[in-house]
Amino acid sequence: MTLEGRVRVAARFDGERIESVSVRSDRPLAANALLAGRTGEEALALLPGVFAVCGHSQATVSAAAIDAAADTAPPQAVQRRRERELVAETASEHAFRLLLDWPRLAGVEEDVTLLARVRSLLARAPESEASWGAARDALIGMVQSRILGAGLDTWLEQFSASEWLEWARSGRTATARTLAALCPATEWAAPDTAFLTDLGRARLAGKIALPALGQPGFEARPELDGGTAECGPLARNHLHPALRDLARRDRIVARAFARLAEFAQILREENCAGRIDQVALGPGRGAATGEMARGLLTHAVELDAGRVRRYAIVAPTEWNFHPAGPLYRELEGRPARDAGAARRALEIAAATLDPCVELQCELEGEPSHA
Amino acid sequence: MCLALPVRVIELRDGDRGVVDLGGVRKEVSLALVDGVSVGDYVILHVGYALTRLDPDEAQKTLETFAAAGLSPEPAAP
């Protein structure tokens, strides 16, 4: 197994539509190899350092899963700290997409200086309720002036899709110009994919955690009730009126706006409660979930005399880049005016679902693009 | 990448840029998102940006963890 991993998206363009879509991921699924035989404490010390972009989320969800396996619950202060860690990392990752990755893709100027300031503030935010509040106050000012060009509440409460699209077309900030450029030239409503939200503990246990521990291949290609499912900002916020409206027209656009809306919404929250859940699965076995930047993260663990006997992680990339999952359904049959527009749709659809590894898009007959 | 492969910084350049050694291949990356990087430090990369700075001991420990788990840093086959 190698440390490198990537998601490859390949397709053909028949002159009118995208077809023969193939989504393949060779992301290393190394949880069991890294953690088997270690104590819970050793696993928790190890995890933040081995994941490049989501170490805090992995560590906090792991801590909750290990607590569940020991059939204990953390003190409230510990739980709150874990939730702040996860939410701060989520916001930091959203900022990475909004200020760097997506502007690059859209041909809009990136803002590395602002991204560095946002990430620096969020890195210190989890320390305490007070530090979270101080970081929020500083970030709200930056987001209003540099990203939204409008008040946070005003922007979030513009409840129609058309008003958000008009904001994007106005080009008043680089983020607005970026989102405008990510809107496909031809809107298309892809077939629905189920959203992986509000599972409840019983379904989490029976439908995800136990299959992850016991069913070979589930970690690599997870399914819910025999079908694929989408997780992430759009799934979490699909009841927002403007996002619901956008999703009915074109989910690519909806996913882009959902990430910005969630970033703004996080800054309105005085606490970060409710993002991590845990469930005991019987003696020595437990699981936990966290709603992180890219979607639902599940850890499931089986302990034997305090040491990990089996460890599984079902990560958002495996749900969203399942070979028959949300990205496939978004692209297969999508109309495009020419091959260039088709390739662009591949790139943008994949970027808005945001794999945690390198992305490679290829349209048959054209050179590949990373 | 998802897993955090530490890479060694071998040269600092103007404009918050630096050069890292990726298994014998030199690659220029941005150091704009991390403070205080020196030649000889290790960094964790994501899409051409250094996200985290590690001292050589931490980096060595991480590399040994991956090796013990049977994870190699060689690129995946195309």
CA quadruple A338, A340, A343, A347: dihedral positive or negative? negative
Contact at CB, A49 and B58, closer than 8 angstroms: yes
| DSSP for A148-199, written as a single string | ISS-HHHHHT--SHHHHHHHHHHT-SHHHHHHHHHS-SS---PPP-EE----
Is residue B76 domain-resident?
no
- Would an 8 Å CB–CB cutoff place A78 in contact with chain B? no
Rounded to 5 degrees, φ, ψ at B56 are -55, -35
CA-CA distance, B26 to B20, in Å (whole number)? 6
Minimal Cα–Cα distance from B1 to chain A, Å? 4
Residue B14 near residue B48 (C-beta atoms within 8 A): no
Among B3, B27, B43, B44, most A C-beta atoms within 10 A, so best to mutate, is B3
- Closest Cα in chain B to A315: B2
Is residue B1 domain-resident?
no
Minimal Cα–Cα distance from B50 to chain A, Å? 10
- Closest Cα in chain A to B73: A3
CA quadruple A185, A186, A192, A193: dihedral positive or negative? negative
Of B4, B49, B76, the CB nearest to A4: B76
Span A68-79, average pLDDT:
94
A42 C-beta neighbours (distance < 10 Å), count: 13
Task: Name the residue type at position A244.
Answer: R
Residue A304's beta-bridge partner residues? A307
Range of the domain at B52: 6-68
Does ipTM top 0.90? no
Name the 3-class secondary structure at A234: helix
- Would an 8 Å CB–CB cutoff place A358 in contact with chain B? yes
Range of the domain at A313: 6-363
Q: Chain B, 4-33: which have a CB under 8 Å from a chain A CB?
A: 4-5, 16, 30, 32-33
Span A248-253, average pLDDT:
95
Query: Residue B30: what pLDDT?
Result: 94
Task: Name the residue type at position A80.
Answer: R
- Per DSSP (E only), the strands in A26-85 are none
- Would an 8 Å CB–CB cutoff place A370 in contact with chain B? no
Of A2, A46, A119, the CB nearest to B72: A2
Name A50's Cβ contacts closer than 8 Å, sequence gap at least 6: A34, B3, B4, B62, B65, B66
User: Could you tell me which residue, A271 or A96, shows the higher pLDDT?
Assistant: A96
Residue A170 near residue A251 (C-beta atoms within 8 A): no
Count of domains observed in chain B: 1
In tens, the pLDDT along A320-340 reads 999 999 999 999 999 999 999
Query: In the predicted model, is pLDDT for residue B3 greater than 50?
Result: yes
Query: Residue A48: what pLDDT?
Result: 83
Query: Residue A240: what pLDDT?
Result: 94
Contact at CB, A3 and B32, closer than 8 angstroms: no
Is residue A370 domain-resident?
no
| Chain B CB contacts of A358 below 8 Å | 1, 47
Residue A179 near residue A251 (C-beta atoms within 8 A): no
Is residue B75 domain-resident?
no
Structure tokens at A95: 């900022």
CATH number at residue A120: 1.10.645.10
Query: In the predicted model, is pLDDT for residue A92 greater than 60?
Result: yes
Is residue A97 domain-resident?
yes
Task: Name the residue type at position A41.
Answer: E
Residue A299's beta-bridge partner residues? A288, A313
CA-CA distance, A79 to A243, in Å (whole number)? 30
Torsion of CA A251, A255, A261, A265, to 10 degrees: 110
Query: Residue B17: what pLDDT?
Result: 96
Count of domains observed in chain A: 1
CATH number at residue B61: 2.30.30.140
Q: Tell me, rounded to whole angstroms, the distance of Cα A94 from its chain centroid.
A: 9
- Would an 8 Å CB–CB cutoff place B57 in contact with chain A? no
Contact at CB, A28 and B46, closer than 8 angstroms: no
Average pLDDT across chain A, whole number? 93
Is residue B32 domain-resident?
yes
CA-CA distance, B50 to B63, in Å (whole number)? 17
Half-sphere CA count of A329, side-chain side, radius 13 A: 19
Is residue A369 domain-resident?
no
Query: In the predicted model, is pLDDT for residue A171 greater than 90?
Result: yes
Is residue A1 domain-resident?
no
- State how far the alpha carbon of A261 is from the alpha carbons of A76, A95, A156, in Å: 28, 12, 7
A252: closest CA among A323, A319, A326, A174?
A: A326
Query: In the predicted model, is pLDDT for residue A218 greater than 60?
Result: yes
Alpha helices in B1-78 (DSSP H): 56-68
Portion of chain A with pLDDT greater than 90, in percent: 84
Query: In the predicted model, is pLDDT for residue B1 greater than 50?
Result: no
Is residue B74 domain-resident?
no
**pTM for the predicted model, two decimal places:** 0.94
Of A2, A30, A55, the CB nearest to B75: A2
- Would an 8 Å CB–CB cutoff place A5 in contact with chain B? yes
> Which helix (H) or strand (E) is A60 found in, with range?
helix A55-69
Of A52, A115, A358, the CB nearest to B3: A52
In tens, the pLDDT along A185-211 reads 888 999 989 999 988 888 899 999 999
